[in-house]
Amino acid sequence: MVCGLLLVLSCPAPARAQAVELSSFSVVRSEDGVLLSYVADFELPPSVEDALHRGVPLHFEARAELLQSRWYWRDKRIARATLSWRLTYRPLTRNYRLDTGGLNQNFDTLAEALDSLRRRTRWKIADAAQIDGDGGHYVEFAFGLNTSLLPRPMQIGIGGETSWSLSVERSIRID
């Protein structure tokens, strides 16, 4: 009995999924339109960081949808906005490259590269003219690692691993 208890206590605890948390999240309606700001807190799990250092690019995505509540049908989609990042490690120069649309940035450390994609301020997700005065508007937001853009053999290999599911979703009403 004592040996069995010692065996159980000596086994390492199962790895827990690294969760993405939003430490700051706000949506503001202004003259410019609907502006979203967020700060996502997360660290890359060791398996994801190892894949990055072996040459696998990581794709992150932030999506926001502005919706209007309706009692008689599905909620009406007013606007949709998406931001995409591609993070790669370049072993020859030992730096990280973050691609966002047409903008490419180089960083010396992984922490600097992740800090750049963790936060966004005053991201315009809709024009002011798209919102009518009826109210009932809300924003659905999602941020995370897009595993569908990984190489196909990796997608099959990580099927059941929770360490690769880095994502967060949030919904907020607009007054």
Structural contact between residues 58 and 87, judged by C-beta atoms closer than 8 angstroms: yes
The CA-CA-CA angle for residues 43, 44, 49, to 5°, reads 150
10-63 confidence digits (pLDDT tens): 343 344 445 789 999 999 999 999 999 999 999 999 999 999 999 999 999 999
73-100 confidence digits (pLDDT tens): 899 999 999 999 999 999 999 999 999 9
Listed by start position, the domains of the chain span 27-173
What percent of the chain lies above the pLDDT cut of 70? 87
C-alpha dihedral (50, 97, 142, 43), degrees to nearest 10:
40
Residue range 129-144: mean pLDDT, rounded: 88
Given a cut of 80, is residue 109 above it in pLDDT?
Answer: yes
